Amino acid sequence: MKQAAAMSESEQERLLSANADGRLALVADSFARLTGRPLLADGPATPRRLWIAPFVLLAHDAAPDPVFFYGNRRALDLFEMTADQLLRTPSRLSAEPDEREARARLLDEVGRQGFIANYAGVRVSATGRRFRIEQATVWNLIDAEGRRHGQAAAFSDWTRLD
């Protein structure tokens, strides 16, 4: 990932894990509670294991204009961002302007239902490269008291469109 040259992969991992401080457990716990299966089928969802997971994992906060607070190594590669860039990016910017209304409807539906599996949609990297994600699971981040802290998405399948 040429944009990450100023920050090593381990530095990016530490920055994202520190920024997610406890919320990574919420990402994994919410997924398991809502879908009935673990986020990582072969063991605990530790920060290191989520960083190197064989799928894209992204999460944003619950602000009115949500900002990403986590993306694993595959997410940074696909969206062509550094960790520092990701942590400043409103999640709506992951979709092109003409795709943002459909994305907002999806997130509203997830908000009502708890999660959606098998989502597909077009996204765009920081450099403008378009790709279609497929079979994504999108879910709410809900703590033990029922408070919502944002939403997350995980997917393994995508196709470049350019």
Whether this model's pTM surpasses 0.85: yes
CATH number assigned to the domain comprising residue 77:
3.30.450.20
Report the pLDDT value the prediction gives residue 143, as an integer from 0 to 100.
92
User: Into how many domains does the chain fold?
Assistant: 1
Supply the mean pLDDT for the chain: 92
The per-residue pLDDT for range 2-44, each reduced to its tens digit, is 444 467 888 998 888 888 888 999 999 999 999 999 999 999 9
- Provide the residue range defining the domain that includes 86: 2-160
What was the pLDDT predicted at 22?
A: 86
Instruction: Please list, in sequence order, all residues whose beta carbon lies within 8 angstroms of the beta carbon of residue 148, skipping any fewer than 6 positions away.
Output: 62, 111, 140, 141, 142
